[in-house]
Each structure stands twice: as structure tokens, then as C-alpha cells.
Copies of this chain bind each other. A is one copy, B any other.
Amino acid sequence: MTQNQIKIGIAGLGTVGTGVINLINKNKNEIIERTGCELIVQCISASNKNKQRSCDVEGINFYSDPIDMLNQESIDIFVELIGGESIAKDLVVKALEKKVHVVTANKALIALHGAEVSMLSLKNEREILYEASVAGAVPIVKVIRESLSANNIEWIAGIINGTTNYILTEMLISEKSFDTVLQEAKDLGYAESDPSFDIGGVDAAHKLTILASICFGIPLNFQSIYVEGIEEIELEDLKNARELGYIVKHLAIARKKDTGIELRVHPCLVPKTRLLANVNGVKNAVVINSDAAGSTLYYGAGAGSLATASAVVSDIIDISRSLVQKANYTIPFLGYKNIIPENNISKIIDVETRYYLRIKVTNKPGVLADITKIFGKKSISIESILQKEDAEKDVNVPIVLVTHKVIEKNIDEALNEIEKLDVVKDKIKRIRIEELNS
């Protein structure tokens, strides 16, 4: 296979920029397998060359002026990670005019100048992709532009600012005031030192501008959005809402109605049973209601170095795939160029999980001792036991046990032995436990 290389220039080496460099290094082989090409970070620009950074920039051409970088380097994809409006826009315009593809994570740029850069993208026949501009690792832009492309979208509602969601979650859990939690969020790095764009709703409004436009085919229209922040929310209201069966969330909502399109960002009471009400901490989630797909939801990390880099690099890969392929189809059938022929699949007897067990026994003294002795022999330790205390002697009763982690082979052998005890009635019920936490 001829190895293709895609040359990348990155402007901005903050949280996201270092994440992109780290991710491209870390998953180099994975990316080659999925894309059929190698991503080469050829040049970077940042204001201070000597600043200590958590990524390896050795061998990468460095510029303190990103305009110089664009003038002097020959690259395939320009990655704009400076943020804000003015310089970022000039750079993106220059890159497109130089017929270089653009990837950006810049929500303000797209929300406020998207129409202009889109025209330049069309004129110069170069892509500008912006998955990372909304909801971090959650691929909401691709989902709307591609996966729901057959749908008439009716409404969209999202938790798309992690800072506000962290504050609302934490106020209720710890029963603290808005001001106290805001200070803690700053200390933890979940809120900026000037958090007004987040807690005031402007950040969410930038993102909603983009979402509404790709959902409904309307112009990017930041000015038309009604914006309310969470500064006025008091703990008392969060508790009252819970008593009434609701959780307060800061939502961005766009809804197509006969009378017009509603675009609004503000706190809402959401029924407790909705998945959106259960999205906690800094996480983001978006619900889309459309005529064919119905209600679908997308959840994940809305910020963070590698999480945002995941979205940026997926855009880089989308462009790379189309650059290195000549055929119509750019994505390998199973996502990888070469399927690893070696197939190292574990046997179920080697799987390690915790177990829920229900053992029906005759209620006699010493029954539990007999059972736990067998578990002990097989190195199975018990985390908790649920036993109804009120059973009469000699009556059949269930013992419900939860084990610590154990290899399936051991539990097989133990249960086999326990089922042979006289006091044990019926086959033992067992269900594996999955924590789903890592």
C-alpha cells in the first residue's frame, strides 16, 4: 500500500491544540488503519514559543505569527484553534483563498461569520468543517448534516454548556448557593475566571445559532436568539422543582412552529424521567425530534483537551479520506483499511464480572455457612447479602447475594458444587453486573 501523507498546520496551542497534537501522536497507527494515510503536523503557531506545553512539538516548524505560517508553508489542512473572532476569521479567509482546507473548533467564528466563510469555501472548492464547535466530543454536527438528512427536524433541545450544567447539578447535590458553587467551579477549572459567557448563556447561544441553521436550513442568526443565563437561579427553586417532579436545566431550544421558529436559551424545568434531566455535571446532551427518526439523543463530554480533539481530528480524517481516495467511496466497509486477521476473542469462562445470585434454600441453621465455605474455597468474596429475616424454619427461602469481581470459571465451579447441597432447591439464578464506568 502506498502510504499517503496529509500535511497539517495548526494555529493555537491551548487546551484543544495540545490535545490535537497528542491525539494524532497517540493514535497514529489507529488513524492510518482507519484512513489509509498518515497525519503529519508540519507546522504550528502560538504566541510564545518557549512556554511549557503538555505536548511534544519537536520537529514541528514553529511560527509566532500564524499569517507567516500560512504564507510560508505548503499544507493540505489548516486547523484554526485560536478561538474568538477577529484573527481567527482573517486566518480562515486566507487559508481558503490559498485553496487550503479548514477545520475549526470556533463557535463564535461559525455563528457570526459562517455565511462569509461558507461563500469562500464554495468559491475556492475547499472544505470548512466545524464538528468541534458544538458539544465537544458529541458528533452532533455530523448527525444533523448527514445521519438525519432524510428528516424534517421539528425541534432540538440541548444541554450544550458544561459550566452551567455543572453548577446546576452541584447546587442541588450539595445544597449550596449559586455563588459558592461558581467559585468551586472556577477552582476546579470547570469555569473560566471570567465566566460570564458561560453562565450568561452567550456560549450556548453561539452553539444554538449553528444547530438551528443546520437543522432547519435558516441563516446563522445569533442576534435573533432569546438568551437568559442561570445567575438568578436559587437553590430554593431547584428544590421546589424537584418536589414537583422536575429538574432545572439550562437548555438551548430551537423549535419549528406554524407561527415561526423559536430560538431560545434559558433555564427550564424538565420532567425528572427524561434522559436529559439525568445528564449531570459538565456533560452535554442534545435531543432531536424529527418526523422519521423520532426522538434521538446524543450525549458526551462537551469540553476537555482530548474530547474536543476527538472532534477536530475526525474532521481532519473526513477531509483526508476524500483527499487520498479516488473512488466514490471514502470510508472502508468496516471502518478499517485492513481487518486484523488474528482474532483474539476471549472465552466467556475467562470473563471477570461481579455477580447477582439468587439461591433457593431450605431455611435451616448453618445453610449460609455451607454456601459461603464453598465460595471461600473458590476465592469468591461476597459484597452484600439480601435475606428476608422473617422466614420460618424449614421453609424454602431465597438468599440473594452480590459478589465482588470473579472469573466466570470460578463461579461456574462454585455454583455447581452449591447446587449439589441438600438444602439447595432448584437451579441457582445468576445475572452478571456491569458497572459501565470505565
A269 contacts across to B, CB distance below 8 A: 356, 431-434
Q: Is A33 an interface residue (CB 8 A)?
A: yes
A121 contacts across to B, CB distance below 8 A: 329, 333
A322 contacts across to B, CB distance below 8 A: 328-330
Known: A345-B224, A351-B262. A114 touches B333 (CB 8 A): yes
Q: Is A189 an interface residue (CB 8 A)?
A: no
Residue tally, chain A, CB below 8 Å to B? 145
CB neighbors of B among A384-414 (8 A): 384, 386, 398, 400, 402
Q: Is A340 an interface residue (CB 8 A)?
A: yes
Cα separation A101 to B328 with both chains bound (whole Å): 10
Binding-face segment, A41-49, A79-87, A145-153, A198-206: A145-153
Copies in the complex: 2
Known: A291-B27, A434-B269. A260 touches B400 (CB 8 A): no
Chain A: residues with CB nearer than 8 A to chain B?
19, 23-24, 26-27, 30-31, 33-35, 101, 114-115, 118, 121-122, 125-128, 131, 137-139, 142-152, 157, 213-221, 224, 226, 232-234, 236-237, 240-241, 243-244, 246, 248, 251, 253, 257, 259-264, 266-271, 273-276, 278-279, 285, 287, 289-301, 304, 306-307, 309-311, 313-314, 316-319, 322-323, 327-336, 338-341, 343-346, 348, 350-351, 356, 358, 384, 386, 398, 400, 402, 429, 431-438
Considering the complex of A and B, which 8 residue pairs feature the smallest CB-CB distances, nearest first?
A139-B147, A296-B300, A150-B313, A217-B336, A137-B293, A260-B346, A118-B333, A292-B310
